[in-house]
């Protein structure tokens, strides 16, 4: 079991933003974290990676964030990354004036996981992922000239170069064309098959439910339902607070 989060609470001034949020992201599974805009999804991801720190005070002392049974509650962002959590934000994070390949090469130059490794080992590692994503023809192109889908694929490969145990994806399909969304979904299945747990935060229902293993629905900071896609789509509480009663579940074949 890769990532376990228990009793996560978050307050902003007097407002209770997150209420006892508990989720599990197992190895080799893709987990969806759904909910309307403003539900608190991005806040959860930022807490998990350490971009938002929870005060050590009475209202927070019961929460738990564990990766492979190691508590990360007091860990820095760098320590969480080195432990195996990698976060990919909704905003494009590529260096626009660098080529696609140079954006990947930065990880080889600076990430500790590649210390002591040769450049050939780095090239061998990324070669198959470049082939899978059909990006070979654009590797020398500056990032500013890449499409939204190409940028997302480069970001995902860059994430894999950090050898993560868990990947946190915040609205990874934003600004991406439908064909690239399908390709990224296929890629995520291949990533999960290598032993990585994946948590995807998004509010686009059908972009998630047709390919994930498990779902959590967050509404106003509270998880109101969870389960497999069929269960959550047909749950009366889910329909009442989020989906509406006319929206049914139809899995793609």
Q: Kindly report, residue by residue over 165-198, the tens digit of the pLDDT.
A: 999 999 888 878 888 888 888 889 989 998 999 9
Contact in structure between 175 and 167 (CB atoms under 8 Å): no
* Cα distance between residue 10 and residue 103, in whole Å: 34
Which are the contacts of 191, defined by CB distance < 8 A and separation ≥ 6?
Answer: 156, 160, 167, 198
Q: What is the pLDDT of residue 112?
A: 85
* Cα distance between residue 152 and residue 184, in whole Å: 8
Q: Kindly report, residue by residue over 92-135, the tens digit of the pLDDT.
A: 889 999 999 999 999 998 888 888 889 899 998 888 888 888 88
Bridge partners for 182 per DSSP: none
Q: What is the pLDDT of residue 249?
A: 46
pTM assigned to the model:
0.87
Q: What is the pLDDT of residue 232?
A: 76
Q: What is the pLDDT of residue 57?
A: 56
Residue 72: DSSP 8-state: -
* 3-class secondary structure, 122: helix
Which of the four pLDDT bands, split at 50, 70 and 90, describes residue 53? confident
Q: What is the pLDDT of residue 134?
A: 84
Residue 192, CB half-sphere, CA atoms under 13 Å: how many? 21
Which of the four pLDDT bands, split at 50, 70 and 90, describes residue 1? low
Q: What is the pLDDT of residue 244?
A: 63
Dihedral sign, Cα of residue 156, residue 158, residue 164, residue 169: negative
**Averaged pLDDT of the chain:** 85
Q: What is the pLDDT of residue 246?
A: 52
Q: What is the pLDDT of residue 240?
A: 72
Percent over 90 (pLDDT), the chain: 36
**Pick from 86-100, 147-161, 180-194, 222-236: least confident:** 222-236
3-243 sits in which CATH class? alpha beta
Contact in structure between 198 and 239 (CB atoms under 8 Å): no
Bridge partners for 135 per DSSP: none
* Cα distance between residue 241 and residue 77, in whole Å: 34
Of the candidates 6, 18, 22, 10, the residue with the CA atom closest to the CA atom of residue 57? 10
**Pick from 7-11, 57-61, 238-242: least confident:** 57-61
Q: What is the pLDDT of residue 252?
A: 45
Q: What is the pLDDT of residue 113?
A: 86
Q: Report the b/e string of 179-217 with b at 16+ CB within 10 A.
A: ebbbbbbebbeebbeeebbbbbbbbebebbbebbbbbbb
Q: What is the pLDDT of residue 251?
A: 46
* Cα distance between residue 216 and residue 203, in whole Å: 11
């Amino acid at each position: 079991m890769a990532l376990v989060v228990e009793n996560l609470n978050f307050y902003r001034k007097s407002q209770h933003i997150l209420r006892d949020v508990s989720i599990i992201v197992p190895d080799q599974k893709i987990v969806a974290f759904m909910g309307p805009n403003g539900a608190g999804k991005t806040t959860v991801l930022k807490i998990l990676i350490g971009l938002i720190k929870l005060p050590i005070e009475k209202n927070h002392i019961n929460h738990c964030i564990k990766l492979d049974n190691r508590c990360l509650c007091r860990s820095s962002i760098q320590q969480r990354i080195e432990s195996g959590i990698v976060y990919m934000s909704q905003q494009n994070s590529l260096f626009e004036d660098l080529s696609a390949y140079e954006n990947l090469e930065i990880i080889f130059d600076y990430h500790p996981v590649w210390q002591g490794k040769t450049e050939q080992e780095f090239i061998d590692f990324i070669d198959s992922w470049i082939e899978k994503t059909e990006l070979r023809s654009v590797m020398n192109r500056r990032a500013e000239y890449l499409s939204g889908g190409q940028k997302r694929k480069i970001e995902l490969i860059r994430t894999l170069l950090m050898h993560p145990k868990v990947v946190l994806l915040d609205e990874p399909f934003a600004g991406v064309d439908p064909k690239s969304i399908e390709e990224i979904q296929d890629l995520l299945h291949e990533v999960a098959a290598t032993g990585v747990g994946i948590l995807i935060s998004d509010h686009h229902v059908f972009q998630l439910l047709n390919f994930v293993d498990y779902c959590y629905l967050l509404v106003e900071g509270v998880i109101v339902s969870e389960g497999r896609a069929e269960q959550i789509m047909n749950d009366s509480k889910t329909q009442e607070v989020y989906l509406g009663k006319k929206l049914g579940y139809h899995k793609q074949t």
